Amino acid sequence: MSLAAPDRKVAAARLWATSRAPYLASAIFASSIKIDPGGGTIAIDRSWQIRADPEVLDSLSVPELGRLLIHLCAHLIRDHATRARALGVTEENRRAQWNRAADAEINDDLASDDLVPACAGDRPADLGCEDGALAEHYYEAGSPGPRRWDCGSGADGCDRPGDGHGHIDPRQAELLRLKVAADIHGQPPGTMPGGWQRWAETILPSRTDWRRALAAEIRRGVALTAGLVDYSYHRPSRRAHLNDEIVLPTMVRPVPEVAIVCDTSGSMHDGLLARALAEIDGILTRAGLRRGAPVLAVDTAVHTVRRVASARQVTLAGGGGTDMGRGIEAAAMLRPRPTIIVVLTDGFTPWPARAPNGTRVVVGLLTQATIGMAPPQGPDWARTILIDEAA
């Protein structure tokens, strides 16, 4: 391979990577790449410099190199080096275990878009763990094993000879992470892995007042329905006397209907249930639901259904597993059919593949601190409002 050939291949791989993961383009193009003959690897250091051995480059196709560039930059984006140092990861065997854990955290989110590099392909299952956790959890709970690929000091925080010659210092790196988080926030819902969305929320938290957002979302659906008119034969038209031979329908305006599904599973401790009740009161008052709304208490089954005008009238029953899909299905079958279904949950639930026909779903996600686990999310097809514990 000629000296110019590695540069051309790296340029092609960068273009491939940014076309597949445009939300990471800022980081991929910001990282410098140094051709490092005899280095024996392709790795990234803490200064955002990727050192690439031409022989290793020659062994990888452009798409596979593109996957590896995404993977290596993801270590820096998620600040795995600082997180490794906080855990005191210094010994070689511990560095290898951390590298595998960090790879698993990244690859878990790259898998859905076929962006996992084969050379650094450790997944949570390879460590005997479930998907959706953080590297710290995989590091402590994961089974030991050999490291597939040494991703460099950018992954484990331990410098190698020749490190530290990149052009990005810690302050610039933090600004770059904020830029990537903003780019992720700008992507349409459901178009990218949920793990990246959760990461962006921790780096660039939404400043939306969730109470106003939830009320506005409900009022929007109510307004859409309130503006509709339809024909009905349930009562005669006021113009029926004009023609005795034809039965004329009358025009009716549907009354908007809101149903509330409240998670009462075992993961909803007393504090979360109290917050859910407070939100029920808020929904009833802020959305102007004078007729009240049916509230369904749901874990893996629907336990109670009752129309209430205040949270004091709600009966919370359950305490088992969690499946909010059952509650959404039951709410959609209510008569009159709800215009909007509001689901109040901690998010530890499976979700249906799609929304019920003709009904808007708003998920009020009651956030809480979790240890070693990434926070849950609502379904891609619903409007999700984070209800902050501190709010």
57-85 tens-digit pLDDT:
999 999 999 999 999 999 999 999 999 99
Q: Can you give the pLDDT at residue 3?
A: 44
- The pLDDT score that the predictor gives to residue 256 is 66
- pLDDT tens digit sequence for 10-47: 999 999 999 999 999 999 999 999 988 988 899 999 99
d(CA 80, CA 103): 10
**In this predicted structure, what is the pLDDT of residue 326?**
94
Q: Are 148 and 121 in contact (CB under 8 A)?
A: yes
Residues 6 or more apart whose CB falls under 8 angstroms from that of 321 comprise 265, 266, 299, 300
Residues 211-218, mean pLDDT to the nearest whole number? 64
Q: What is the pTM of this model?
A: 0.58
CB-based contact 159:45 (threshold 8 Å): yes
Higher confidence at residue 267 or residue 228? Answer: 267
**Which tokens is 134 given?**
């953080």
Strand residue runs (E) in the chain: 32-35, 42-44, 49-52, 230-232, 250-252, 258-263, 293-298, 302-308, 340-345, 360-366, 383-387
The stretch 349-372 carries a mean pLDDT of 82
The gap from C-alpha 350 to its chain's centroid, in whole angstroms, comes to: 14
Most confident of 172-176, 202-206, 250-254, 314-318: 172-176
185 C-beta neighbours (distance < 10 Å), count: 14
Q: What local confidence, expressed as pLDDT, does residue 226 receive? A: 55
DSSP code, position 112 = G
CB 356 within 8 A of CB 337: no
User: What is the DSSP secondary-structure string of 125-136?
Assistant: GGGT--TTB-HH
CA distances from 79 to 46, 153, 157, 199 (A): 9, 11, 9, 11
> Is the pLDDT confidence value at 2 over 50?
no
- Say how far apart CA 166 and CA 67 lie, in whole Å: 21
Task: Name, in order, each residue with C-beta under 8 angstroms of 32's C-beta and a sequence gap of 6 or more.
Answer: 48, 49, 50, 166, 167, 168
What confidence tier does 245 reach under pLDDT thresholds 50, 70, 90? low
The tens digit of pLDDT for each residue in 366-384 reads 877 654 555 677 888 888 8
Contacts of 121 (CB under 8 A, 6+ apart): 103, 107, 148
* Residue pair 156/95 in contact by the 8 Å Cβ criterion: yes
Q: At 234, give phi and psi (nearest 5°).
A: -65, -25
Confidence of residue 229 (pLDDT cuts 50, 70, 90): low
pLDDT for 238 equals 62
pLDDT, tens digit (0-9, with 9 covering 90-100), for 131-185: 989 999 999 999 998 888 999 999 999 999 888 777 788 888 888 898 888 888 7
| Per-residue pLDDT at 193 exceeds 50 | yes
**Residue ranges of domains in the chain, CATH in brackets:** 4-190 (no CATH), 210-387 (3.40.50)
Which strands sit side by side in the sheet containing 293-298, from one edge to the other? Answer: 302-308, 293-298, 258-263, 340-345, 360-366, 383-387
Check residue 205 and give its pLDDT: 54
Higher-pLDDT residue of 246, 104 = 104
